[in-house]
Amino acid sequence: MVSAWLMKARLPLLLLILEVLFIVLFAVTADYEDSARPPLPARRHGGNQSEAMGGGHAQPEGHGAGAAGPGPIATYYPMFQDVHVMIFIGFGFLMTFLRRYGFSSVGINMLLAAVAIQWAMLVSGYIHGHGGKVHIGVTNMLTADFAAAAVLITFGALLGKTSPLQLVVVCFLEIILFSVNEWIGLSLLEVVDVGGSMFVHAFGAYFGLAVSRMLYRKDVEEATKEGSVYHSDLFSMIGTIFLWLFWPSFNSALAVEDAQHRAVINTYLALAACCVVTFAVSALTDPNCKFDMVHVQNATLAGGVAVGTSADMMIGLHGALLIGSVAGALSVLGFKYITPFLASRLKIHDTCGVNNLHGMPAILAAIAGCIASVLADEDNYGYTLYRQFPARSPANETSPEFLHISQHMEISAGKGRTASEQASFQIAALAVTLIIAISGGAVVGLIVRFIPMDQPRGEALFEDSRHWHVPD
């Protein structure tokens, strides 16, 4: 009896264990960042506090955070909230298109994201940290939402074919691999990816597709509930449009000054062009030239992914429009031809078509970023070249070149990379991302397949009532 109940109660018990773990880890290993703490008079510093505090408290007493310039809330909070809406409303409702899986789509989306943001703050802090406590503030909240996005993209590949228990386990493990991969890309390879197209979208999509391959069962192809109804498609459009609207915030939240403004403009234009081309190609690939709602729900967003790596670069207005246009076409063609191929030939079932919305457009993003990196020089970036690509700063802080640049722009010693070296590293980061995502996803997929975790079959596929009290 008890063991039967324990089997059923594995998910809620796991959730409670996770939350206790998070509370302990936040208590022991994390603290507010400086600007979220009162400025304490020096004489009152306790010994064990100073570790987490850093130099910020040497500043004059009585001046709160942000006495000089706008504080982090004024700087980051509006765009953070846009991204937050994308994660919980955007992804959540985008997936409600299934006729009998809306509760899970929006509900489990919320649960996974709530687990992911807490866990990602900690893991990312450990990996990027310097031994002291993890400092928590609005910028962690923002990057935690990025990590959650990767998990939710993976969710999109697995939607309707996995139990919530499987998904929570996938989420927990994916966040670790996500953070490792991102750290390799940003800290070891020193590449740039302002909108996270490689580290979020490519990673989340191919990780999810690898898990999906491992979980493959024939009955998924025969499931009868994998379809939409009229109103479920409208609910889905709520998600689509909020994602579409706030994508410029996603791609620019962590950029600065002119690069931030440029990231907003480029993303906005890429999305507008992508929307137009999506409608065009959707009709052209249909014998009666009718639009397909699946394309509108998804492919219109591919431009935001595809411009993500190069959004803050000098790609030109036409460059942004071109990237968005190609992404829209590629994504529709993916839904039309590649998704069926993956399912029938490679046994990779992709419920939401994340390969089309996130995967292939992210590869396009990496290529565009590589090309834009090759073309970057002081002629078009001025000294901001070294802010945009820190690895291109001279390696030697005493070299005349370094000293010349640092008269105009605050820089640290870099790697002295040339444009084509930087471009090579950009592509290397994509390769590393694909390797970690696919191999990691495969291992995680095997884990959640062969440790029994209640994977749904037959009538339980794409069906809420297995895990929810459903009215009617």
Query: Is residue 280 helix, strand or coil?
Result: helix
| 307 HSE (CA, 13 A, CB side) | 42
Nearer to a second copy, 214 or 330 (CB): 330
Nearer to a second copy, 179 or 433 (CB): 179
State the Cα–Cα distance between residues 426 and 448, nearest whole angstrom: 32
How big is the CA angle at 165 (ends 208 and 439), to the nearest 5 degrees?
30
Q: Minimal distance in Å, beta carbon 288 to a second copy?
A: 7
Q: Minimal distance in Å, beta carbon 362 to a second copy?
A: 22
Q: Minimal distance in Å, beta carbon 143 to a second copy?
A: 13
Q: Minimal distance in Å, beta carbon 437 to a second copy?
A: 25
Nearer to a second copy, 49 or 439 (CB): 49
Contact at 8 Å (CB) between 252 and 312?
yes
Nearer to a second copy, 23 or 395 (CB): 23
State the Cα–Cα distance between residues 435 and 69, nearest whole angstrom: 42
How big is the CA angle at 62 (ends 60 and 66), to the nearest 5 degrees?
80
Contact at 8 Å (CB) between 319 and 385?
no
Nearer to a second copy, 252 or 355 (CB): 252
Residue with tokens 């996270």: 196
Nearer to a second copy, 102 or 359 (CB): 102
Nearer to a second copy, 205 or 271 (CB): 271
Per-residue burial over 216-238, b = 16 or more CB atoms within 10 Å of its CB, e = otherwise: bbeebeebeebebeeebbebbbb
Q: Minimal distance in Å, beta carbon 408 to a second copy?
A: 4
Q: Minimal distance in Å, beta carbon 298 to a second copy?
A: 13
Q: Minimal distance in Å, beta carbon 277 to a second copy?
A: 6
Q: Minimal distance in Å, beta carbon 251 to a second copy?
A: 13
* Token pair belonging to 390: 């820190």
Q: Minimal distance in Å, beta carbon 52 to a second copy?
A: 11
Other Cβ atoms less than 10 A from the Cβ of 197: the count is 30
Other Cβ atoms less than 10 A from the Cβ of 55: the count is 7
Nearer to a second copy, 230 or 450 (CB): 230
Query: Of 252, 184, 201, 198, which Cα lies nearest the Cα of 370?
Result: 198
Query: Is residue 430 helix, strand or coil?
Result: helix
Residue with tokens 């074919």: 161
Distances (CA, A) of 2 to 6, 27, 221: 6, 33, 36
Structural Rg of the chain based on CA atoms: 23
Contact at 8 Å (CB) between 287 and 339?
no
Nearer to a second copy, 3 or 407 (CB): 407
